[in-house]
């Protein structure tokens, strides 16, 4: 499989075309913007925490196939998980896509990522790694925001 085919796998193209959870949450506890000023990719992520569990998550915005599919797969992957589990998943995902070209990444590590493993090919494209991690950084920022009450205010952007 060529590097391009590995980057643009069917599952990625499919998530790009019909992103999951591509909606604003009316009731949310946390939210944050993910913006890459250099390329203009821009997403907003909304979260509803129930105790320590991510009960619901949605995103909206604009960007390339890699950033949009990554955001879509992220929302599917973390929904129903605890905050700690979501952060752990991000750590694993981040360490895979940040692995230097040429350094081996074991099948187990990719499989442990579930559907997110489809994005492992992005590490062959250093300029695009930031696309794959953009929504995750927004999620991280949202979780750090520490809003204690559910907000129905519109997003800050």
Partner 1 sequence: MIRRKTITKHSTTYPIDSIRNEFPILGTTVHGRPLVYLDNAATTQKPEAVLKVQETYYREQNANIHRGVHHLSEVATFEYEKARGKVRNFINAGDTKEVLFTAGTTAGINLVASSFGRTFLQAGDEVLISAMEHHSNIVPWQLICEERGAVLRVIPMDDNGELLMDEFERMLSPRTKFVSVVQISNSLGTVNPVRRIITAAHAVGAKVLVDGAQAVAHTKVDVRAMECDFYAFSGHKLFGPTGIGILYGRQELLDAMKPYQGGGDMIRSVTFERTTFNDLPYKFEAGTPNIVGGIGLGAAIDFVNTVGLDAIGAYEQELLQYGTALLSRIPGLRIIGTAAQKAGVISFVLEHAHPHDIGTILDREGIAIRTGHHCTQPVMQRFGIPATARASISLYNRTADFDALAAGLQKVQEIFG
Rule CB under 8 A: which residues touch partner 1?
Answer: 3-4, 7-8, 13, 38-42, 62-66, 68, 125, 127-128, 131
Closer residue to partner 1 in complex, CB, 65/83: 65
Take residue 37 and report the two structure tokens written for it: 């000023």
Q: What's the closest the beta carbon of residue 141 comes to partner 1, in angstroms?
A: 21
Identify the CA nearest to 139 among candidates 81, 97, 66.
81
Q: What's the closest the beta carbon of residue 45 comes to partner 1, in angstroms?
A: 18
Q: Are 79 and 57 in contact (CB under 8 A)?
A: yes
Closer residue to partner 1 in complex, CB, 37/104: 37
Q: What's the closest the beta carbon of residue 32 comes to partner 1, in angstroms?
A: 19
- The residues with which 60 forms a beta bridge, in sequence order, are 44
d(C-alpha 50, C-alpha 62), whole Å: 28
- Looking at the chain, the number of H-run helices and the number of E-run strands are 6, 3
What phi and psi values does residue 48 have, to the nearest 5 degrees?
A: -125, 110
Closer residue to partner 1 in complex, CB, 15/30: 15
3-state secondary structure of 32: strand
Closer residue to partner 1 in complex, CB, 113/122: 122
Q: What's the closest the beta carbon of residue 42 comes to partner 1, in angstroms?
A: 7
Closer residue to partner 1 in complex, CB, 49/66: 66
Q: What's the closest the beta carbon of residue 16 comes to partner 1, in angstroms?
A: 8
Residue recorded with tokens 């752990």? 88
């Amino acid at each position: 499989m060529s590097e391009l085919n590995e980057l643009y796998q069917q599952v990625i193209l499919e998530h790009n075309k019909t992103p999951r959870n591509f909606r604003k949450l009316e009731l949310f506890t946390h939210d944050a913007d993910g913006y890459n000023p250099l390329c203009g990719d821009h997403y907003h992520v909304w979260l509803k925490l129930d105790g320590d569990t991510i009960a619901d998550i949605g995103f909206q915005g604009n960007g390339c196939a890699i950033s949009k599919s990554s955001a879509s797969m992220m929302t599917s992957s973390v929904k129903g998980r605890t905050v700690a589990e979501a952060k752990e998943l991000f750590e694993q995902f981040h360490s895979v896509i940040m692995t230097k070209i040429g350094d081996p990444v074991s099948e187990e590590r990719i499989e442990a990522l579930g559907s997110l493993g489809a994005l492992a090919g992005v590490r062959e494209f250093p300029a695009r790694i930031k696309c794959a991690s953009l929504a995750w950084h927004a999620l991280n920022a949202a979780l750090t925001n520490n809003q204690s009450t559910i907000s129905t205010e519109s997003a800050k952007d």
